[in-house]
Structure 1
Amino acid sequence: MGNVCGVCMHHCRLEEGQTGRCRARRNVKGRIESVNYGRCTALALDPVEKKPLQRFYPGKKVLSVGSFGCNMSCPFCQNFEISMAGEQELESVPFSPKELAKQAEALRTRGNIGIAFTYNEPLVGYEYVRDTAREVRKRGMKNILVTNGAFTEETEDAVLSYIDAMNIDLKGFTESYYKKLGGDLETVKAFIEKAVKVCHVELTTLVVPGENDSVSEMQNLAKWTASLSCEIPLHVTRFFPRWKMQDREAADVRKVYRLAEEAGKYLNYVYTGNC
């Protein structure tokens, strides 16, 4: 019958040697293990604002690290080369949690505040996030998680106490749209609800023409967010054609500003991106 992976809402049932839809977890002798642990495909010192985080150590930098794999399949993914790749499809450099934390510490003189787990979906390999974040904390530095939030409570609990700030993609506010992307809206909402009680959280919604760009959907999204706290920053960002969605135009800038204005009726901090 195989073993069930409990990391995200897909609950993949995997036979011996089989890899889950995230491409980053496999059944190894009856145990579901991360196959991307310590395998870094991207490493860069970025401005914190690029995560994007506008209200968490603005003006500082953070060492951003990515691996491979993702449990969703957004057709507009800007990092599809690594998020949609498996372990045999790209090169990676091994970094132990201690080695990566030391790299972050060495960059303090350049304004680095810690590590951001980003680029692909970090939580498909949550064990590496947890172990590295512990090492970063030991050095008195910060941990940032950039995630789609489509994970079980158990996975969230494994890392949450080590995370100082998150940017969570709230990709839209209808279940039908989330299903198109291979996700689940209620799972993401539950993830956000828990995270905002523990760390600094900012949300990002990419405005995709004809998909999630109605005023009513933005109203519902912003109202729900405000029900948690009107202090939660929301980034309303402009879609550009990428990967499997190169057949449509970029989102209209005026529409992005219009939706941001609507969100601003409920939330104190709304930012536009890619405009």
Structure 2
Amino acid sequence: MSQTAWLSKELSSGKILCQACAQACKLDDGEYGICGVRRVEDGELKLLVYGLAAAVNVDPVEKKPMFHFLPKSRAFSVGTVGCNLSCKFCQNHEISQYSKENNHKIAGHELPPEQIVALAIENKCDSIAYTYNEPIVFFEYTYDTAKLAHEKGIKNIYVTSGYETKKAIDLLQPYIDGMNIDIKSFSDEFYKEICGARLKPVLEAVKYAHEKGIWVEITTLLISGKNDSDEEIRSIARFIADLDTSIPWHLSAFHPMYKMLDVERTPESTLLRAYKIGQEEGLKYLYVGNIDNEDHESTYCPSCKTRVIDRSGNIGQFVTNELDAEGTCPKCGYKLEGVWK
């Protein structure tokens, strides 16, 4: 399906500017954006994957990962083909890079916004997560779905690389309740060489989403020899802490994938080192991911250090939440930051 990608504008040159993401593609008739799913046709930008889902699942919200957002609840998860980045380590490259690697072919099955919301309700999901590929490339599809979901009392989550424009965040803000944003590195060179992007727009998006009152959690995939030095880890931790020490930081282990099959899996010791650095920089909520470590996947009250959310097994498999609907610690009364109801 194709529909007008209305987050765009015509320039005096006659080109069409896509205003969804920081790639800011300026396109002539017949040209595709970097994402591979936004194309100018007859002087109008079209979203080629509107209503076409390439991946659909019912997941624990912890799998997004969102650890301070309706714990133990279900998220109806949906994604399309296409991505505005080209990360060499992408775990979902089969769909994210599909259109670019298959001569701009589009794949997916019809799933309009109304049906997504209906399925979320049917599957007793408290939220809808736009995930698997980069949701900003199918912005109009996510916007229409999120607006309908909010009318039905369902929350919305963006799982994103953080390349949204301020204009896109402004439009999403009334309907997107949470975002898990990747900070893949604190090196612009890393972003350019490995992801086909830049660092600055990501940091700006993180700051702006937080300013707009959207609940933000950060994920960093630590890759041996690429972004795992003490200096770089500390720089990310300091950036988050300067913004808000209450922002959860997920530290995930890399495993060989896509175009980085020659890089070893991240050892647990690297994640625990990063966890310690995050603590030193004053972050309240730190988590390790892609390894089995219950002690470092659970949530502790920042005030009395009581374990208030216990997580074990596969992500979201076993979750015990001791907090009340306000996020209050049962032992000391501290209100933990997050979206609890």
Q: TM exceeds 0.5?
A: yes
Q: C-alpha offsets along residues 203-233 of structure 1, whole Å, 9 cap, x if unaligned?
A: 0000011111011111111111111110000
1:106 aligns with 2:122: yes
1:47 aligns with 2:60: yes
User: Across the two proteins, how many residue pairs are aligned to each other?
Assistant: 272
**Which structure carries more relative contact order (alpha carbon 8 Å, separation 6+)?**
1
2:143 corresponding residue in structure 1:
130
TM-score (norm 1): 0.95
Identity %, equivalent residues: 38
Aligned counterparts, 1:137-216, within 5 A: 137-180=150-193, 181-197=195-211, 198-216=213-231
1:254 corresponding residue in structure 2:
269
SS of residue paired to 1:272: strand
What displacement does 1:182 show?
A: 1.2
Give distance in 1, aligned partners of 2:16 and 2:154. 37
Give the residue type in structure 1 aligned to 2:201: T
Q: C-alpha offsets along residues 83-110 of structure 1, whole Å, 9 cap, x if unaligned?
A: 00118646411111111111111112xx
CA contact (8 A) 1:41 1:67 kept: yes
SS of residue paired to 1:259: helix
Give distance in 2, aligned partners of 1:28 and 1:199. 34
Give distance in 2, aligned partners of 1:123 and 1:90. 17
Q: Is 12-21 or 89-98 further displaced after alignment?
A: 89-98
1:231 aligns with 2:246: yes
What displacement does 1:114 show?
A: 2.0
Rate the CA distance shift 1:8–1:115 in 2: closer, same or farther, 3 A. Answer: same
What displacement does 1:240 show?
A: 0.4
Give distance in 2, aligned partners of 1:89 and 1:257. 42
1:94 aligns with 2:123: no
What displacement does 1:265 show?
A: 1.7
Give distance in 2, aligned partners of 1:249 and 1:90. 33
1:119 corresponding residue in structure 2:
132
Give distance in 2, aligned partners of 1:228 and 1:248. 32
1:80 corresponding residue in structure 2:
93
Q: C-alpha offsets along residues 123-182 of structure 1, whole Å, 9 cap, x if unaligned?
A: 111111111000000101110110001122112222122111110011111211111211
SS of residue paired to 1:202: strand
1:18 aligns with 2:34: no
2:319 corresponding residue in structure 1:
none
Task: Choose which of 65, 70, 82 in structure 1 pairs with 2:83.
Answer: 70
1:274 aligns with 2:290: yes
Give the residue type in structure 2 aligned to 1:100: I
Q: Which consecutive unaligned segments of at least 5 residues does structure 1 have?
A: none
SS of residue paired to 2:76: strand
What displacement does 1:4 show?
A: 2.6
Coordinate RMSD, CA, aligned: 1.4
Q: C-alpha offsets along residues 29-83 of structure 1, whole Å, 9 cap, x if unaligned?
A: 1122211111101110000000001111111111100101110110000000000
Pair member with larger Rg: 2
1:241 aligns with 2:256: yes
Give distance in 2, aligned partners of 1:143 and 1:117. 8
Give the residue type in structure 1 aligned to 2:290: N
